[in-house]
Amino acid sequence: MLAQLEAGVARAEAAQSSAELSGFVAGLSTVWRDGEVRPAHRKRSTGQRTYRTRVDPFEAVWPQVQQWLNEQPDANAKELFLRLQESKAGTFAPGQLRTLQRRVKQWPSEIVRQLVLGLESEPVSKQEMYATFNSGEVRL
């Protein structure tokens, strides 16, 4: 080893390993985004759920909210949430605002589905859509 140092061979290897090390360190700034890279520790992609994991807190008042949205289509979810808190004092916690925002965001697509396809506001499976389309009830 000392003979290699004296001959300058080890310096070339050190320079090469230094370049590899700098490349490794440069990659650390983005590699953390990948998370755990071992297959046993990766999260499996499950796709989006089509079912609720909790009871919908706005199910009982949703017809009232829809009426408000029909009267004022440009109303935002925060305004509607404040109206709900005033009319149903103590029923809705501030943390439930995001749930209402999601429902209000879906509301226009429900209206379009009802107008264009004449379907109920309930989610429809692909099989039911294909059956409706193939039966001739929907004409393009």
- For 69-111, what is each residue's pLDDT tens digit? 999 989 999 999 999 999 988 899 999 999 999 999 999 988 8
Q: For the chain, what are the domain ranges?
A: 2-36, 62-134
b/e map 25-56, b = 16+ CB within 10 Å: eeeeeeeeeeeeeeeeeeeeeeeeeeeeeeee
> What local confidence, expressed as pLDDT, does residue 81 receive?
96
Handedness of CA 79, 81, 83, 86 (dihedral sign): negative
Whether residue 111 contacts residue 120, with contact meaning beta carbons closer than 8 Å, is answered with: no
> What local confidence, expressed as pLDDT, does residue 65 receive?
94
CA–CA separation, 51 vs 81, rounded Å? 23
Q: Tell me if the pTM is above 0.85.
A: no
Confidence band for 16, pLDDT divided at 50, 70 and 90 = low
